[in-house]
Amino acid sequence: MIRLAAERMSAGAPNAEGERGVIVSTASIAAYDGQIGQAAYAASKGGIVGMTLPIARELARSGIRVVTIAPGIFETPMMAALPKEAQESLGKMVPFPPRLGRPAEFASLVAEIVRNPMLNGEVIRLDGAIRMAPK
């Protein structure tokens, strides 16, 4: 997916600073705090984290930035399937703010990444300072 997006972006005209686009990937805090039973999931998210900087360096010559967001516990369709009490309990695990992350907060970070040309090759945790327990 990144390769295909980068090909299309590379063909475009650069802006005044030479930028042709921004690729924002999504990982997860599981890349850092994988829980028992999550080895495959944590490894896949760790792979996204690990490829961010090398791909950013490779695509820099084409004027393309690469940034990854590693979200914590967010309001998602999967989360909406849980009982309200379970959602509230998970939200209380977040140090601050003690609630689930909101899609608008994720979108706001994406918008800032696009606006700020110095954000490149970075993984940003968007998690309210939560660190997941082993289980």
Q: Dig out the tokens for 31 from the structure.
A: 């890349």
Q: Write down how long the chain is.
A: 135
Residue closest to 125 by CA, chosen among 77, 56, 67, 78: 67
Residue 41: active-site member: yes
Of these residues, 41, 58, 105, 124, which one is catalytic? 41
**DSSP E strands: which ranges in 18-119?**
21-26, 64-71
pLDDT attached to residue 58: 99
Give pLDDT tens digits for 72-110. Answer: 999 999 999 999 999 999 999 999 999 999 999 999 999
CB 44 within 8 A of CB 32: no
Give pLDDT tens digits for 31-57. Answer: 999 999 999 999 999 999 999 999 999
CA dist., res. 92 & res. 6, Å (int): 39
- For the chain, which domains are there? 2-11+20-126 (3.40.50.720)
pLDDT exceeds cutoff 90 at 135: no
Instruction: Report how far apart the first and last C-alpha atoms of the chain are (Å, whole number).
Output: 32
